[in-house]
Amino acid sequence: MHYIYQFMIEKHIILDNVDPVMFYGAKNANMQIVKSLFPKLRIVARGQILKVMGDEESAEDFSLQMEKLRHHLLKYNSLTEEEVLQLLRGEQTARINATDVLVYSVTGRPIQARSKNQQKLIDSFNRHDMLFAVGPAGSGKTYLSIALAVNALKNKQVRKIILSRPAVEAGEKLGFLPGDMKEKIDPYLQPLYDALEDMIPSQKLQEMMEQKVIQIAPLAFMRGRTLNDAIVILDEAQNTTTAQIKMFLTRMGANTKMIITGDTSQIDLPAQTRSGLIDAMDILNNVKGIGFVHMGKEDIVRHKLVTRIVEAYDHRDKTTLKTNLKTNE
């Protein structure tokens, strides 16, 4: 008679970088499926730690399968019951077959180019270390730029993301606003927070910001820094002065890409001050390694009324210009 001895072990699996609530599923539905497919193992889920007890071979297989689920959730921000079943059976999910997706939103929505010029932005980013993306509100230039940065971070192409904006509206009024400097500046940086919160689960985003993997700061805070191994985005660049944008562009360090976005129709600088964005595009137009993408009304991906509003204002501006020219004749 032959006896086969199986040594029982206890293994701890850390669900690093993912939201355990999303991993376990609503009312632990995902874990119920997992447990049903590994009946020989005792599985206990607590926070971000999965504790499994059983024979060594089964526990090791379980660990590999959980890593597969964790990787799927990390990449797609989604892990449905159907996807759990497909992955544990060795099948591909519908998401794996998707192409041209930069990242997935926290709701599992694919984020990708939705117009020709948005695709040009992505292509230009891949070809150049510095990119200027200019266009009207709602054309997706900032949102897509942040998606490119998150994609690069997830793929370990860079170690950090740095997002900046000029707080030009604040001017000297900052001193009169309540709170510390962060509380005074944050309202002007909120659109950047909004985009990040749409792409990275809140708990993970908070950790990344605490660890300075993702940094959001007003333009003035860039002075004196050398930005290495990063994707750096300057938003609302039309509201920089020539000196400010030159200071920003010369912060570029090793293994760094910069994206500068702006809307030249929404300049909030004093009337006699030339926009640094317009100045930089004129000066750097023929510099090798710098890309330029111009977006238009056709790229607006917000509510359809936004396109109509932009067109109405453009029409008014053209009419006013014609009237002024006739008056001056």
Span 118-153, pLDDT tens digits: 999 999 999 999 999 999 988 999 999 999 999 999
Tell me the backbone φ, ψ of residue 62, rounded to 5 degrees: -60, -45
Residue of higher predicted confidence among 82 and 186? 82
| Radius of gyration, CA atoms only, the chain | 25
pLDDT digits (tens, 9 = 90+) for 80-128: 888 899 899 888 776 665 667 888 888 888 898 988 999 999 999 999 9
Confidence of residue 295 (pLDDT cuts 50, 70, 90): very high
pLDDT on residue 257: 96
Cα–Cα distance, 204 to 195 (Å, whole number) = 14
The mean pLDDT value for 148-177 works out to 77
> Do residues 151 and 102 lie in contact, with contact meaning Cβ atoms separated by under 8 Å?
yes
Cα–Cα distance, 228 to 161 (Å, whole number) = 10
The mean predicted confidence, pLDDT, of the chain is 85
Place of tokens 């790229």: 299
Cα–Cα distance, 216 to 165 (Å, whole number) = 9
Confidence of residue 170 (pLDDT cuts 50, 70, 90): very low
Q: What is the pTM of this model?
A: 0.73
Strand segments, DSSP code E, in the chain are 8-14, 42-46, 49-55, 103-104, 110-111, 130-134, 160-165, 214-218, 230-234, 257-262, 290-294
- DSSP type of residue 310: H
Cα–Cα distance, 224 to 237 (Å, whole number) = 19
On the question of pLDDT at 200 being above 60, the answer is yes
Q: Is 211 helix (H, G, I), strand (E, B) or coil?
A: coil
> Do residues 192 and 138 lie in contact, with contact meaning Cβ atoms separated by under 8 Å?
no
β-pairing, 8-14 with 42-46? unpaired
Residue type, 24: Y
Confidence of residue 241 (pLDDT cuts 50, 70, 90): very high
The mean pLDDT value for 199-215 works out to 90
Residue type, 48: Q
Residue of higher predicted confidence among 94 and 157? 157
Q: Which two tokens stand for residue 4?
A: 């086969």
